[in-house]
Structures are given as C-alpha cells and as structure tokens.
Amino acid sequence: MDGSGTQVLEEIVRTYRQRGVRIFFSRGPARRDHPVWHLMERSGIVALCGGESHFVMDVEEALRWTEYEESIGVRSGASSAQD
C-alpha cells in the first residue's frame, strides 16, 4: 500500500465511523514492524478505528471485542469517531 492507497482507506474508514460503524482489521500487517502498519498509524487510521485493539487476528476476535466494547458502553456512533 502506498500513500494514495492509505488516503483512500482513511477516507473509507472515516466515512464508516461517521455512520456509527465499528471498524476492525483482521490478518493485517504485524503491529509496529511492518511498513503498512506505519502508514496506517501515521495517516491516523489506527486511531480512527479505535486503536491497536481494533487490529485483530481473526473475525472471532473482532466479534469478541465488539461484545466487550458494548458491555462497557463504548459508543460506536459518529460522536466517538474522530473528525
């Protein structure tokens, strides 16, 4: 992924967050030691998604995180997304 791909992905993530959709990435680049991770972090995608906890190994883990966030009252609405 290059800079323009990162920009497009950031716009997609931002749009979905503004609609109240939780965003998780699974099977993505290893945290902190992969160039794609650095691009996603520098572009703000990591923070926009909800932080490193939204980068998971598989769909089941994403579902567990969603259930956990709902149980502690983490909002998925537009007000919790960065502008």
Domain ranges of the chain: 3-80
Tens of pLDDT along 27-75?
887 667 888 889 999 999 999 999 998 999 999 999 999 999 999 988 7
Going from the C-alpha of 27 to that of each of 16, 20, 51, 80, the distances in angstroms are 20, 23, 15, 25
The closest of 16, 18, 12, 24 to 51, measured between CA atoms, is 24
- pLDDT reading at 81 higher than 50: no
- pLDDT reading at 82 higher than 60: no
- pLDDT in the model for residue 32: 79
DSSP 25: E
Residue 16's pLDDT band (cuts 50, 70, 90): very high
